[in-house]
Structure 1
Amino acid sequence: MTNTLFYSPGACSLGIHIILEEIGKPYELSLVNLKGGAQHQPEYMAVNPKSKVPALKREDGTLLTEYPAIATWLAKSNPEAGLLPTDLEGETRAAEAMAYFTGTIHPYGFTRQYRPGNFTPNEADIPKVVETGKAAADKYFTLVDGQWLGGDWVLPSGYSVADTALFFVEYWGGKRSGLTLPSKLAAHMERMMARPAVRRMMEQEGLSA
């Protein structure tokens, strides 16, 4: 058996897809059509009652959910790929970064834009919710840019799973929402787009550069 990634094209699961490509071992993809509401259908809820992606069905048949947990498990299960620092401080900083990208920037910056109905019962409030999301994303990106440590990647030790988490929100901001990324984040996204693993992911998911 191989690991199976439950994903939706262009969703936050694209970062886990990148990690699987970076590792380079065989894996399978299982499409979950979020736009069509497949995440709420009995077939997928039987797999993942949380009704979201990413989810990873591991070789032993157990399911792992939540981006930081999946990313950390994949990196530590495949240490030869060098996707996570081996020292406690480095691993902790990677966890810190992923938590912010996936737990703050994602929901408050982008779920507000893409699923504004989750934040208000009133149709008339939706434009305001979307604008609030865009303003929040700008604010968060500026904060990350201002705290950048000066290297090519999120962590000074080099490329890691944290970069894949930053990439999916950068991609949403720069390619979908029309936001102007701060200079360091814009350069980071370009470096990510040049990685073979990212290019393979984008081709497989049908995403535009």
Structure 2
Amino acid sequence: MTRAASLRTATTPGEALAVVALCFGWPILLSVQAVMAGFPVRQGGFDDLGALSIVIYEIAFALVAVTLLRSRGYDVASLRPRPTWVDSGLGLVLALAAGMAGMLAMAAFSAGQPEQPIADMMRRSTIGAPMVLLMAVVNGTFEEVFLLGFLMRGLKERGLSIALGTMMLVRVSYHLYQGPLGACYVFGVGLVFGLFYARTGRLWPAVLAHMMWDIVPFLR
């Protein structure tokens, strides 16, 4: 048996927890703190320095997580998104479908809701276009590689409900800082991404769709 054939893509609960803690632990903690503090205005908006810190954080912890997984016999090469023209086209369609799902999820709970923290953050944002693009590329790749490519795929042997539910719990938990409606939007988008990936096993369309929805809010 070759080394490539002996590598695995399934994960254990302990390994999954370790990778989630590495990649998403700090964002989850900050989101929970924002909720407990009542979404303070001092969250501020997005700026170049803040976006750069996100990029550095995600690249650094991605390298740590990949190193850990490789040392444990995980097939890290299988986590790499593989762009094709077909999958790029699917990504555009997926972005539209996910955006619609997110909007519907928000609409279901929007009655009587005050202005959401994410709206205030966007209004205060001063980030430049080059940094928006860089953050979208890194963030979209980082999140979908570890949420879909690692976590959801790794837990699929335990059943779709476990794999999808765990992925959704992690995804929504580190977006809580956006407010209730922002979390609903992320839930809708994440659900479409997860169901698409469960059905097709294609990672690049979700990565591309995520990149697009990281860019669109800054188009003004």
TM-score (norm 2): 0.28
Answer 1 or 2: which has greater strand percent. 1
Answer 1 or 2: which has greater helix percent. 2
TM-score (norm 1): 0.29
Which structure is richer in relative contact order (CA contacts within 8 A, separation 6 or more)? 2
